[in-house]
């Protein structure tokens, strides 16, 4: 359940099927109801008695019907914001930026960009207050440290997402998901997220440490902050399974890393004359529908790894040819 779904649910309870607005951002939005919900939750507008304006049904389609409510800068409120934001237990996404100063200038820029993109993700599912950032960058809500935030809230369950986490993330609900504000372009920040876990536990905070895996491996799981946030929210709020959530956000480059790691398992060795090749049938591509790959990505990786892609018929012929047990390859004459 996303904020938008909660918003619609509450409106329906009040018998509101059509809602008017004069807010340009809403009228121009691709998803007017989502934008209304976000602006209401962010405290920018109120839900009031009907007034003149554009009217939408709850699917976001423009309508000529008479509205039963209005969203805009008005004071004659029908539904308080709190009714919407407190109705459901939405989690917090917390970005722990304690290692910010240890990043290079380039990494800092990337980190700031990823934080902004994480805010966009949070806005797809919830609203700005649900993003906590321990860096004063104007995104979400600023806290000087995760410790300050956790001490204030006293949550029941907190999960730190860590590629080297102790347990696997399988969609467990938590009040708060901590993501490390770490961008590791230099490759010198391995294990830093686990350091955050150690520090928090030493200070007496009870945090679970969980890793997101794709079929048993972190390779193929995108590691950008916004992607991690989106995977978690898709799983926890939309009820999507982890594998689908990963594939939905996985950039092609990340899918290719995983393909490079496993593709050799699908090849056979073939000896022609005094040369040996690795060969695989084209249909292997279909086995990777759990990765976000285009056929061109598949061919690219095959060619980079010097694997020959053949038709299934050719593969059959190869498999009927002589098997050289010592060299572990088929021999083609
Ligand atoms: N090099 C760092 C990882 C930085 S990735 C390290 O080894 O700790 C940035 C953040 O994304 C991490 O702090 C973590 O919160 C999250 N993250 C990335 N990949 C993850 C995965 N597979 N599982 C869980 N969290 C992950």
Distance 34 CA to ligand 1 centre (A): 29
- Domain borders along the chain are 3-85, 92-250, 261-332
Q: Residue 320: what pLDDT? A: 93
pLDDT at 186: 84
Query: How far apart are alpha carbons 19 and 133 in whole angstroms?
Result: 34
Q: 297 CB less than 6 Å from ligand 1? A: no
Distance 209 CA to ligand 1 centre (A): 11
Q: In this structure, what are the phi and psi dihedrals at residue 279, rounded to the nearest 5 degrees?
A: -130, 145
pLDDT tens sequence for the chain (333 residues): 999 999 999 999 999 999 999 999 999 999 999 999 999 999 999 999 999 999 999 999 999 999 999 999 999 999 999 999 999 999 999 999 999 999 999 999 999 999 999 999 999 999 999 999 999 999 999 999 999 999 999 999 999 999 999 999 999 999 999 999 999 988 999 999 999 999 999 999 999 999 999 999 999 999 999 999 999 999 999 999 999 999 999 999 999 999 999 999 999 999 999 999 999 999 999 999 999 999 999 999 999 999 999 999 999 999 999 999 999 999 987
Task: Write the residue with the smallest CA distance to atom 2 of ligand 1.
Answer: 190
Contact (CB, 8 A) for 211 and 167: yes
Please give the helix or strand (H or E) that residue 179 lies within, else none.
strand 176-180
3-class secondary structure, 9: helix
Q: What is d(CA 79, CA 82) in angstroms, rounded to the nearest whole number?
A: 8
What is the C-alpha separation between 45 and 205, in angstroms, rounded? 37
For ligand 1, say whether the CB of 180 is within 6 Å of any of its atoms: yes
Nearest to 23 by CA among 7, 1, 9, 39: 39
d(CA 97, CA 74): 38
Element housing 277 (H / E): strand 275-281
C-beta separation of 92 from 141 below 8 A: no
Q: What is the pLDDT of residue 333?
A: 73
Residue with tokens 């308080």: 80
CA 193 to ligand 1 center in whole angstroms: 6
User: Which structure tokens are listed for 259?
Assistant: 């393909």
Ligand 1 proximity of 223 Cβ (cutoff 6 Å)? yes
CA of 129 to the centre of ligand 1 (A): 23
Two tokens, residue 224: 């950008």
The pairing of strands 69-72 and 77-79 is: unpaired
Q: Which two tokens stand for residue 303?
A: 């060619």
How far is the C-alpha of 259 from the C-alpha of 247, rounded, in Å? Answer: 13
124 lines ligand 1 (CB under 6 A): no
Task: Give distance in angstroms: CA of 190 to centre of ligand 1.
Answer: 9
For the domain spanning 92-250, the CATH number is 3.40.1280.30
């Amino acid at each position: 359940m996303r904020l938008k779904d909660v918003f619609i649910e509450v409106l329906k309870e009040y018998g509101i099927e059509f809602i008017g607005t004069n807010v340009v951002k809403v009228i121009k939005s691709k998803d007017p109801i989502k934008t209304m919900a976000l602006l209401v939750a962010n405290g920018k507008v109120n839900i009031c008695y009907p007034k003149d304006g554009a009217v939408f049904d709850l699917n976001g389609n423009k309508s000529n019907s008479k509205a039963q409510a209005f969203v805009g800068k008005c004071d004659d409120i029908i539904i308080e914001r709190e009714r919407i934001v407190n109705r459901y237990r939405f989690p917090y996404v917390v970005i722990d930026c304690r290692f910010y100063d240890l990043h290079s200038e380039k990494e800092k820029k990337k980190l700031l960009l990823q934080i902004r993109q994480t805010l966009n993700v949070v806005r797809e599912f919830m609203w700005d207050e649900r993003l906590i950032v321990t860096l004063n960058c104007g995104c979400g809500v600023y806290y000087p440290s995760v410790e300050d935030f956790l001490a204030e809230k006293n949550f029941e369950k907190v999960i730190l997402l860590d590629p080297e986490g102790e347990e696997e993330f399988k969609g467990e609900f938590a009040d708060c998901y901590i993501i490390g504000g770490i961008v590791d372009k230099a490759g010198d920040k391995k294990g830093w997220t686990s350091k955050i876990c150690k520090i928090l536990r030493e200070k007496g905070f009870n945090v679970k440490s969980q890793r997101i895996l794709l079929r048993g491996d972190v390779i193929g799981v995108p590691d950008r902050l916004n992607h991690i946030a989106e995977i978690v929210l898709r799983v926890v709020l939309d009820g999507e399974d982890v594998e689908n959530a990963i594939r939905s956000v996985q950039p092609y480059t990340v899918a290719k890393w995983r393909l490079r790691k496993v593709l050799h398992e699908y090849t056979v060795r073939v000896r022609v004359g005094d040369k040996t090749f690795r060969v695989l049938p084209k249909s292997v591509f279909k086995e990777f529908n759990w990765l976000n790959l285009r056929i061109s990505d598949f061919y690219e990786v095959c060619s980079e790894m010097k694997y020959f892609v053949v038709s299934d018929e050719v593969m059959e012929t190869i498999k009927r040819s002589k098997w050289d047990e010592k060299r572990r390859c088929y021999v083609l004459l």
